[in-house]
Amino acid sequence: MIRVENVSHWFGAFRALTDVTLEVPSNEIFGFIGPNGAGKTTTIRMMATLLEPDVGRVLVQGIDVVEHPDEVRKVLGFMPDSFGVYDRITVDEYLEFFAAAHGIVLGQRRRTIEAVIELTELGAVRDRLVQALSKGMKQRLAIARTLLHDPKVLILDEPANGLDPRARIEMRELIEELRRLGKTVMLSSHILTELSDMCTSVAILERGRVVASGSVDTIGRGLRPERGVKIRLLAPPEGVDGLLAKAPNVLSVERDPDGAYAMQYQGGDEALADIVDFAVRERLRIVRVEPDQNDLERIFLEVTKGELQ
Ligand SMILES: Nc1ncnc2c1ncn2[C@@H]1O[C@H](COP(=O)(O)OP(=O)(O)OP(=O)(O)O)[C@@H](O)[C@H]1O
Ligand SMILES: [Mg+2]
């Protein structure tokens, strides 16, 4: 759906991107992750036809962004990382304006705007001034605007930036809904926890280079074979950590200060199911099984080795 092929780019003497190659498959939620200054926005601006790569090429639905930018813009919705300033204009007028700018004919304009307002749940604030909206609502409106021409591909630069936890969850739900509607969504972030639940694939960018890409599972396994899980037990008996250490595939067991048992084990879901099975046969009463650290967070820290800029 989106292909970036061997792209390099310079700002003056500064090399912002080095041989960046990545592929965003159709109908996925693709996470573009990297610390500040990694080159996410630079890459995204190329996809959005706002910047031409010095070397390499970028294709959106097979269309070259440099050769046919107008064609690309028809299939692409782009939400920049800053909103811009719009004085004295209501949410409704704002959408009206952009619908007109997209060339949506008058007869269809109202229906299109209503559909987008419903999808992004902006109905309650439609008569409010844009400048008076909360950050969360502004982000929603920014997404609404990118949806007006019903693009197949959406590129969102830091959509959850500055949102509170509830607004973040709502943003996630909206993005998941867009995927259900058949869209391909690429979003950038340096906040990993919100991406790991949502993204099917990711690319990790650091100092202008892709340091890892693919499905979250594949990247994770490639880096380190062991995984961590926390198991919480109802009334754990004496010496239960020794017992858990005998479960299949378990490498280590440690009791957390909060009473949960943090275990490192080898293998994937199959191995975890065997561990749980073992515990149940040993008559341990499990109340919770959870990954001990966010998988994506772990991948990120490992590939970037803490060199945040
Ligand atoms: N127009 C420009 N002129 C000069 N340097 C630029 C320009 N745009 C970006 N850069 C530099 O290129 C590098 C990559 O910037 P970019 O904005 O793509 O990073 P990012 O990954 O989006 O970071 P952030 O998480 O902070 O948004 C940075 O070092 C930045 O200073
Ligand atoms: Mg950026």
* pLDDT tens, position by position, 152-163: 999 999 998 888
Mean of the pLDDT values across residues 304-309?
A: 53
d(C-alpha 270, C-alpha 121), whole Å? 40
Q: Mean pLDDT across the chain, nearest whole number?
A: 89
d(C-alpha 56, C-alpha 115), whole Å? 38
Protein residue whose Cα sits closest to atom 11 of ligand 1: 16
Pocket probe for ligand 1: among 7, 9, 11, the residue whose CB has the most ligand atoms within 8 Å is: 11
Q: Cα separations (Å) of 173 from 7, 115, 160?
A: 32, 17, 12
d(C-alpha 60, C-alpha 153), whole Å? 8
d(C-alpha 252, C-alpha 259), whole Å? 16
Q: Which of 171, 131, 175, 181 is nearest to 155 (CA)?
A: 175
Q: Which of 50, 44, 51 is nearest to 20 (CA)?
A: 44
Place of tokens 């499990």: 286
SS3 (DSSP) at 231? strand
pLDDT of 102 > 70? The answer is yes
| Stretch among 7-11, 172-176, 207-211, 302-306 having the lowest mean pLDDT | 302-306
Domain residues of the chain, as ranges?
Answer: 2-220, 224-293
pLDDT at 308: 42
Mean of the pLDDT values across residues 96-106?
A: 91
Phi, psi of 302 (to 5 degrees): -70, -45
d(C-alpha 115, C-alpha 138), whole Å? 18
pLDDT at 84: 76
pLDDT at 218: 73
Protein residue whose Cα sits closest to atom 17 of ligand 1: 41
- Ligand 2 centre to CA of 203 (Å) is 14
Give the atom of ligand 1 at the shortest distance from the alpha carbon of 44. 18
pLDDT at 243: 94
pLDDT of 114 > 60? The answer is yes
d(C-alpha 68, C-alpha 42), whole Å? 19
Helices (H), 122-258: 135-147, 165-180, 193-196, 216-223, 240-244
pLDDT at 35: 85
pLDDT of 226 > 70? The answer is yes
Pocket probe for ligand 1: among 10, 14, 43, 204, the residue whose CB has the most ligand atoms within 8 Å is: 14
Taking the CA of 156 as reference, the closest ligand is 2
pLDDT at 222: 66
Other C-beta atoms lying within 10 Å of the C-beta of residue 169:
14
Q: Comparing 89 with 220, which gets the higher pLDDT?
A: 89
| pLDDT band (50, 70, 90) for residue 121 | very high
pLDDT of 258 > 90? The answer is no
Q: Which CATH superfamily is domain 2-220 in?
A: P-loop containing nucleotide triphosphate hydrolases (3.40.50.300)
| Stretch among 18-22, 34-38, 299-303 having the lowest mean pLDDT | 299-303
Q: Comparing 197 with 67, which gets the higher pLDDT?
A: 67
pLDDT of 309 > 70? The answer is no
pLDDT at 247: 94
Q: Cα separations (Å) of 116 from 80, 111, 190?
A: 18, 9, 28
| Stretch among 139-143, 163-167, 207-211 having the lowest mean pLDDT | 163-167
Q: What is the CATH number of domain 224-293?
A: 3.30.70.100
Give the atom of ligand 1 at the shortest distance from the alpha carbon of 35. 25
Share of the chain above pLDDT 70, in %: 92
pLDDT per position as a tens digit, 285-302 = 999 998 766 566 666 777
d(C-alpha 82, C-alpha 84), whole Å? 6
Helices (H), the chain: 40-47, 69-75, 91-101, 106-119, 135-147, 165-180, 193-196, 216-223, 240-244, 269-281, 295-304
pLDDT of 177 > 60? The answer is yes
| pLDDT band (50, 70, 90) for residue 183 | very high
Residue 155 tokens read as 């590129």
d(C-alpha 42, C-alpha 53), whole Å? 9
Ligand 1 shell residues, CB under 6 Å: 11, 14, 16, 34, 36-42, 190
pLDDT at 298: 67
Pocket probe for ligand 1: among 40, 188, 189, the residue whose CB has the most ligand atoms within 8 Å is: 40
pLDDT at 302: 72
HSE, side-chain direction, 13 A CA sphere, residue 232: 9
Taking the CA of 34 as reference, the closest ligand is 1
pLDDT at 161: 84
